[in-house]
Amino acid sequence: MIIHHSENIKSYHLFIQKPLKYSDKFTFIPLRFKKEKDFIKCILQTPLLFTPYGICKTPNNKNIIDISFQNIENDKSHILFHKNLKYIYDTVYEKYKYDYIVNDFLKKTDFNDCLRLKINDNTKIFDESKNMIEKIENYSYGNFIIELEGIWLNEDNIWFQWNLLQAKIKIPTYLNEYSFIDEIIEKKTITDKYDKMLKMGVPKDAVERQRLLDGKGTSKGIPVKGMPPPPPPPPGMLPERSTTTTVPKINASDLKSVVLKKGKKIDKKPIKRDPNHFEPPTLEELQTTLSRLRKTR
């Protein structure tokens, strides 16, 4: 069972079990929490705490980590968790204060109170995406699952044994591959000018004449430059070959039947034009010219 940092552990009774002698100088006393009739290990989940040095090694080559209350002024959850740890210390202190020096496990440092944890081979470290990582950098924040295994009696001193079981560390985001979302430039389809003429109301026959004058399309089965030839007719249906190709011209009378669609009025600012530079007429100018041509007929 893991006790969350938001719980008040004063509702649990800290139970001191029978001592286990390891040598003439060292005796270990396991600690448990007792709630009603159940005995549970002293396993706590911390709030988001600061580790100034990351994982370090002691002179006897053991891995340790210090976690601190550096952010206690900004995070209210630190206050309750700090009180829970203080309750554990006070309980042990009251029992042994007349016989031993009870060393406090919260040490005053430049990073506020720090708690030292022992790291063993079974300690698991994760990032926020639940991926396992191998190390904890200095100046990192993380949540920790810690265990108070018990206390050591050494001559006239008592020391607390805290272990790190798991850690979830906030690490910077890294992108190992090219990850930009590139913009897709859409190619705008240029409308064919003959389609524009049809939309303006020019008769289809007149548009086809213009297409032939421009050298595009076919006229009566005769291929025109720029277009693939039509399929051959069935045998016996071959037309007489013409020696010359005549392209019909557009007469002024053909424009009488032209009905132009009314365009939207566009407010345009006058444009200064270079007298030596040719510019094609605008759609509005073309409509005005055709309108005047109908009136003169």
In the chain, where the domains are located: 3-170, 188-231+246-263
Position 224 scores a pLDDT of 46
Cα atoms found within 13 Å of the Cα of residue 192, Cβ hemisphere only = 9
CB 96 within 8 A of CB 158: yes
Position 164 scores a pLDDT of 97
Position 88 scores a pLDDT of 95
Position 100 scores a pLDDT of 94
Position 152 scores a pLDDT of 95
As a whole number, mean pLDDT of residues 244-270 equals: 63
If residue 88 lies in a helix (H) or strand (E), which one and from where to where?
helix 77-96
pTM exceeding 0.85: no
Does the pLDDT at position 273 exceed 70?
Answer: no
Look up residue 199 and give its two tokens.
């939309």
Rounded CA-CA distance 164/43 in Å is: 10
Position 53 scores a pLDDT of 94
- Helix locations, the chain, DSSP H: 77-96, 193-200, 204-213, 283-296
Does the pLDDT at position 272 exceed 70?
Answer: no
261: nearest Cα among 197, 195, 200, 196: 200
Position 218 scores a pLDDT of 52
As a whole number, mean pLDDT of residues 248-255 equals: 66
What DSSP state is assigned to residue 257? G
| pLDDT tens digit sequence for 64-77 | 999 999 999 999 99
Rounded CA-CA distance 65/67 in Å is: 7
As a whole number, mean pLDDT of residues 112-129 equals: 95
Does the pLDDT at position 123 exceed 70?
Answer: yes
Per-residue pLDDT band at 217 (split at 50, 70, 90): low
- Lookup result for tokens 């994760």: 126
Rounded CA-CA distance 9/33 in Å is: 9
Look up residue 185 and give its two tokens.
């430039």
Average pLDDT, the chain: 82
Which residue would you say has higher pLDDT here, 61 or 196?
A: 61
Long-range contacts, stretch 72-81, CB < 8 angstroms, 24+ apart: 72/112, 75/47, 75/48, 77/5, 77/6, 77/47, 77/48, 78/47, 78/49, 80/5, 80/6, 80/8, 81/5, 81/44, 81/46, 81/47
Position 176 scores a pLDDT of 84
Does the pLDDT at position 143 exceed 80?
Answer: yes
Which residue would you say has higher pLDDT here, 260 or 61?
A: 61
- Give the least confident one: 46-50, 169-173, 267-271: 267-271
Rounded CA-CA distance 168/110 in Å is: 24
Which residue would you say has higher pLDDT here, 228 or 148?
A: 148
As a whole number, mean pLDDT of residues 123-131 equals: 94
Per-residue pLDDT band at 2 (split at 50, 70, 90): very high
Per-residue pLDDT band at 38 (split at 50, 70, 90): confident
Rounded CA-CA distance 197/86 in Å is: 89
For 194, phi and psi rounded to 5 degrees? -70, -30
CATH of domain 3-170: 2.40.50
